[in-house]
């Protein structure tokens, strides 16, 4: 069993603000990330898949297929966008890096079997570095 | 003569759009950076100062003073902000990294002598990495 | 379930020397790290916590609280110090990165519930990079 | 229980080409990595071992011994070589990073007990970064 | 005046061997880089251009044009190739990083005015990192 | 003309304290770096040399010779040492990174012509990163 990880980057902006909470509570909770006009990051997203070696090719994941899937589902729609304004799901939930990881995981899982119809490889993990000091990970099997 | 460089980071958002040019020309010119809702970066700013060694202290620059100046003039006002909406000078010029470097250089030069009243150290260079692949530098003596 | 990791740095000095072993055995065992006057590192410490998403805030860990805890228990006492001379526990055990990880883990666990009184988040892992080529990890649940 | 990881680098060249498949299939499968004259990488290899603390030394792994083993079995034979032409096992299997990880794992496991005769430390994991965006991991206990 | 730098990467293989020198002299001179089957690197190439700000666009270099030029002249022909076998000029000179920098500089200078017909921006500098520890720079105006 | 840069690392400890100044002035001046027991860093030292291409070898600097010189004059004596206690010149001057750069430059200049007896290459620049955020450079021709 191998874990194959590809690292991608995109630049986007966001504002952390929970509409059901008051202004002061939002400021306390999110600090500078609650500034009214938003700010942005160079997000680094690592997508890990897991699978056995294909004996003929010597590979566990066809990374060209994975790159295409991630580009279509994540890099194109999220790249150079304002997450709050342009991504539907962030109209319902605050675009924290946790929720961003969940959203990326959902998008990849929904479209995974169309790209990888066999039993393997499987999506294993999403890791987002909002900055080099601030890192968020989820396992795909813990997200429905 | 020494060059002393301090590296700082801040996260901000911007949109590249020149109001005097048409919509199509803006799209051609700035590509994805012209997306209407803006996007963002973790900006890495390196500030270089130049000066001789102080024989008593063995230092060329009092970096605590430099840090304080950069925090007050750059990191606090620019950090977690939308450059287009919240920084006055970017209402007149497009917040490209080139113009950001000019603005940072202006702010440090205007306030330099209040912090460093002697002949040395002098502000030498501003270097901005918008991403690790995209780097902009100006020399302070080429900016009025 | 999310893993949230924060990366911190501090500079400190240490000397690897086990008093119960002879001079020659110490030299063989620790090599250059046994030099009598000590040496130092820019330690990079990653603290990982684990927890479910808070639906209201979209976050798994209040990172401001975590930062405060780590600063108080680790960065302030260890930063710019000599680990052998200034940290009590390293009078009893050699300040290897393994023991440093144990000490950091103890300090965070002892003070965790005062900062995070709920069931979650929990401290999961401490990772120390003594240099970029030399990395040590422990899981918090393997340390009493 | 500690995980101790050492990071090593070597430069080598390879060509991805499965002799049992046709020319076109090889091109489709490996893309640019199938170019007839080969290409190369600065491979970054991380070797992780796992073990309890030795109370006398405060260490979980004698890293000098590990370094020597990795140098002899991996860095010397693979460094500055053409993997296809100079490493026997890559005459039978394609030198993908997956197979490279397997080969490194085999070499370390075969020679492990001569260097570390006790119950601990054990080889845990091999991680290869072909480039910073392309990462492969295997667990030693999943390889016979 | 601004310096704008773009960072690019490509993977290639090479062998250092000067045909006019004997086998032993080649071994002494190039060490492991003289191994008969060659080896490879992830080359990091930084291309710096220099120019004044365009007041309308707020930019000193149209980086989309620069990227296109570098892709066509450098990344496509050199990427995933064997420099000795596939690049004509390295049949006459040894593909050291110094000669690689000269070759890249020649290719960009020859095609520069077709892409940037005005007085500015000008090609300023080529910087090649063969590894993170091994860096080579030339100024474009020192190369005919 | 080429600039060839080699990056080296060593771990050492130091304390910033100017004996001719009072305790309070030392604390104000050096902050945490004045802590009585010292602290340490993973110093990254870049040594740049400058020279023309040797047409036969395709190289501007024999880097094996440079590595040997730097190892003998810098890495061996400074590595894993306490700069204040073990390096003579730091009994007379405070071991700031500025003075460390001067000391390294002196040592390389004094021994340069024994290793590189010709007109070229020449030592050009020493760059020390005490941490990734704190960088010091001197030009060799500005040091006697």
Report pLDDT for E67. 98
SS3 F138: strand
Locate tokens 């010292």: which residue?
F38
Chains that touch C (3 or more CB pairs under 8 A): A, D, F
Residue B41: which of A14, A33, A42 has the nearest Cβ? A42
B109, pLDDT greater than 90: yes
Partner-chain contact E134 F6, CB within 8 Å: yes
pLDDT in tens, D5-58: 999 999 999 999 998 899 999 999 999 999 999 999 999 999 999 999 999 999
Q: Count other C-beta atoms under 10 Å from residue F73's C-beta.
A: 20
Cβ(B47)–Cβ(B66) under 8 Å? yes
Give me the pLDDT at residue A143, please.
Answer: 87
Q: Are strands B2-14 and D81-82 parallel, antiparallel or unpaired?
A: unpaired
- The residue from F33, F41, F103, F105 that is catalytic is F33
Instruction: Quickly state the pLDDT bin for B143 (edges 50, 70, 90).
Output: confident
Contact A31 C64 (CB under 8 A): yes
- Asked about E9 being catalytic, the answer comes back as no
Interval C42-47 mean pLDDT? 98
Say how far apart CA C75 and CA C7 lie, in whole Å.
12
Cβ-contact D17, D91 below 8 angstroms? no
Flag if C137 and D7 touch (Cβ within 8 Å): no
Of E33, E41, E81, E105, the active-site residue reads E33
User: Is A10:A79 a contact under the CB 8 Å cutoff?
Assistant: yes
Mean pLDDT of chain A: 96
- Asked whether the beta carbons of residue E20 and residue F56 sit closer than 8 angstroms, the reply is yes
Q: Give me the active site residues of D, please.
A: 33, 80, 130
- List, for residues C74-93, the tens digit of each pLDDT value: 999 999 999 999 999 999 99
What own/partner pairs with CB < 8 Å and gap ≥ 24 does F59-66 have? F59/E96, F59/E98, F60/E98, F60/E136, F60/F2, F60/F4, F60/F120, F60/F121, F61/F2, F61/F4, F61/F121, F62/E29, F62/F116, F63/E134, F63/F4, F63/F6, F64/E31, F65/F115, F65/F116, F66/F4, F66/F6, F66/F115
Residue C143, pLDDT > 90, answer: no
pLDDT of residue F144: 77
Cβ(C44)–Cβ(C129) below 8 Å? yes
Q: Tell me, yes or no, if the pTM score tops 0.95.
A: yes
Nearest-angstrom CA–CA distance, A41 and A131: 7
Coil, strand or helix at F64: helix
Cβ neighbours of C139 in D, within 8 Å: 1
Contacts of residue D133 in chain A, CB cutoff 8 Å? 6-8
Q: Hey, which residues does A10 pair with through a beta bridge?
A: A43
Domains and CATH numbers, chain A: 2-142 (3.30.479.10)
Is-contact C90 C99, C-beta < 8 A?
yes
* Count of CA atoms in the C-beta half-sphere (13 A) of F139: 9
Provide DSSP, C33-84: GG-TT-EEEEEEEEEEEEEPPBTTTTBSS-HHHHHHHHIIIIIHHHTTSBHH
Q: What is the DSSP letter of C132?
A: T
Is E33 one of the catalytic residues? Answer: yes
A84 confidence band (pLDDT: 50, 70, 90): very high
CB pair distance less than 8 Å for A98 and C4: yes
* Residue of A13, A35, A131 lying closest to B38 (CB–CB): A13
Chains E and B touch (3+ CB pairs under 8 A): yes
Which of chain E's residues have a Cβ under 8 Å away from the Cβ of F59? Answer: 96, 98
Tally of CB atoms within 10 A around D108 = 21
- Catalytic option among C14, C17, C33, C81: C33
pLDDT for the residue numbered E143: 87
- Give me the residue label for tokens 């003039």: B73
A22 pLDDT above the threshold of 80: yes
**Average confidence (pLDDT) over F44-72:** 96
Mean pLDDT of B116-123: 98
- In the 3-class helix/strand/coil scheme, how is B79-118 assigned residue by residue? CCCEHHHHCHHHHCCCCCHHHHHHHHHHHHHHHHHHHCCC
> Average pLDDT in the A31-60 region?
96
User: What residue has token string 């605590």?
Assistant: B64
Chains linked to B by 3 or more Cβ pairs within 8 Å: A, E, F
Contact A58 D94 (CB under 8 A): yes
Cβ-based neighbours of B10, under 8 Å, separated by 6 or more: B42, B43, B45, B74, B75, B78, B79, B80
Q: What is chain E's Cα-based Rg? A: 17
For residue E127, what are the contacts with CB-CB under 8 A and spacing of at least 6? Answer: E45, E46, E48, E101, E135, E136, E137
Question: pLDDT truncated to tens, each residue of chain E (144 aa)?
Answer: 999 999 999 999 999 999 889 999 999 999 999 999 999 999 999 999 999 999 999 999 999 999 999 999 999 999 999 999 999 999 999 999 999 999 999 999 999 999 999 999 999 999 999 999 999 999 999 987
Q: Which of C18, C95, C134 sits opposite D57 (nearest CB)?
A: C18
Question: Which of E131, E136, E144 to mutate to test binding with chain F, by most F CBs within 10 Å of its CB?
Answer: E136
Judged by a CB distance cut-off of 8 A, whether residue A137 touches chain C is yes
Give per-residue pLDDT as tens, D73-104.
Answer: 999 999 999 999 999 999 999 999 999 999 99
| Cross-chain Cβ contact F42/C37 below 8 Å | no
* Å between D6 CA and nearest CA of chain E: 18
Task: Specify whether the backbone of A94 is left (phi greater than 0), alpha (psi in -120 to 50) or beta.
Answer: beta
SS3 (DSSP) at D108: helix
Model confidence at C7: pLDDT above 90: yes
Contacts of F16 in chain C (CB under 8 A): none
Contact C98 D58 (CB under 8 A): yes
> Nearest 5 degrees, angle CA A77-CA A78-CA A82?
115
Exposure string over E55-85, b if 16+ CB within 10 A, otherwise e: eebbbbbbbeebeebbeebbbeebbbbbbbb
Neighbours of chain F (3+ CB pairs under 8 A): B, C, E
pLDDT at F143: 87
**Chains in contact with A, where contact requires at least 3 CB pairs less than 8 Å apart:** B, C, D
- How large is the average pLDDT for residues B93-118? 98
Quick check: C3 and A93 CB within 8 A?
no
Say whether pLDDT at B144 is over 90: no
> Catalytic positions of B, please?
33, 80, 130
pLDDT of E144 reads 77
Cross-chain residue pair C38–F42, CB shorter than 8 Å: no
D144: pLDDT strictly greater than 80: no
What pLDDT is attached to residue F49? 98
DSSP state of F133: T
Position F22 confidence tier, pLDDT thresholds 50, 70, 90: very high
**What region does B87 belong to: left with phi over 0, alpha with psi -120 to 50, or beta?**
beta
> pLDDT (tens digit, 9 = 90+) per residue, B33-60?
999 999 999 999 999 999 999 999 999 9
Q: What is the spatial distance between Cα F24 and Cα F11, in angstroms, rounded to a whole number?
A: 29
Does the pLDDT of residue C8 top 80, yes or no?
A: yes
Contacts F79 to C, Cβ<8 Å: 32, 39
pLDDT tier, D143 (very low <50, low <70, confident <90, very high otherwise): confident
Which H or E run includes F24? Answer: helix F23-30
Phi and psi at residue B48, to the nearest 5°: -110, 135
Which two tokens mark D8? Answer: 């090593």
Are A40 and B13 an interchain contact pair (Cβ–Cβ within 8 Å)?
Answer: yes
| Tokens linked to E119 | 């007085």
Chains C and A touch (3+ CB pairs under 8 A): yes
- Select which of E46, E86, E130, E137 is catalytic: E130
């Amino acid at each position: 069993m191998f874990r194959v990880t590809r690292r991608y980057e995109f630049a986007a902006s966001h504002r952390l603000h929970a509409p059901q909470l008051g202004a002061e509570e939002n400021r306390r909770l999110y600090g500078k990330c609650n500034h009214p006009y938003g700010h942005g990051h160079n997000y680094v997203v690592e997508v890990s898949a897991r699978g056995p070696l294909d004996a003929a090719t010597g590979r566990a994941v066809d990374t060209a297929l994975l790159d295409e899937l991630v580009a279509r589902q994540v890099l194109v729609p999220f790249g150079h966008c304002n997450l709050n304004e342009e991504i539907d799901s962030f109209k319902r939930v605050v675009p924290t890096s946790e929720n961003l990881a969940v959203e990326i995981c959902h998008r990849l899982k929904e479209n995974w079997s169309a790209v990888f119809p066999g039993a393997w490889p499987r999506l294993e993990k999403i890791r987002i570095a909002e900055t080099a000091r601030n890192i968020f990970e989820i396992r795909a099997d813990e997200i429905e």
